Amino acid sequence: AQKVTQAQTEISVVEKEDVTLDCVYETRDTTYYLFWYKQPPSGELVFLIRRNSFDEQNEISGRYSWNFQKSTSSFNFTITASQVVDSAVYFCALSEWGSQGNLIFGKGTKLSVKP
């Protein structure tokens, strides 16, 4: 059965610190997709990144970077030089090719960045 675990419930950092949000997934499919979404206090879900299971290249987008490791079934997200605007709940999600496109979400990690 598919499952996404975000073990960190809450993280608090001071501005300009680097922070890594962990995501571990379980799936039996060989083809699957991993996502990260940001949910700011206003409540919407903001897409950050999608990765497919055949692409293990790490990705960097500005202050954000993602480390995908199939060997450990992890898809971790790092924010470099965090800012107060990064404060939000971050969700990792998994979609298996065998499903009809439904995303299985982790429970989320609440990140608080203090000035």
Partner 1 sequence: EPEVTQTPSHQVTQMGQEVILRCVPISNHLYFYWYRQILGQKVEFLVSFYNNEISEKSEIFDDQFSVERPDGSNFTLKIRSTKLEDSAMYFCASSEDRTYNYGYTFGSGTRLTVV
Residues that bind partner 1 (CB under 8 A): 33, 35, 37, 43-45, 47, 50, 52, 91, 93, 95, 97, 99-108
Contacts of residue 24, defined as CB under 8 A and 6 or more positions apart, other chains included, come to: 4, 5, 7, 72, 73, 74
**Token couple for 1:** 């059965």
Q: Which is nearer to partner 1, 10 or 18 (CB)?
A: 10
**Closest separation between CB of residue 30 and partner 1, Å?**
15
Q: What is the dihedral of CA 80, 5, 108, 20, to 10 degrees?
A: -10
Question: Considering beta carbons, is residue 5 or 80 the nearer one to partner 1?
Answer: 5
Whichever of 17 and 32 has its CB closer to partner 1, that residue is 32
Shortest gap between Cβ of 65 and partner 1 (angstroms)?
20
User: What are the two backbone dihedrals, phi and then psi, of residue 51, each rounded to the nearest 5 degrees?
Assistant: -135, 140
Shortest CB 81 distance to partner 1, Å: 26
> At closest approach, how far in Å is the CB of 18 from partner 1?
25
Distance, CA of 78 to CA of 66 (rounded, Å): 6
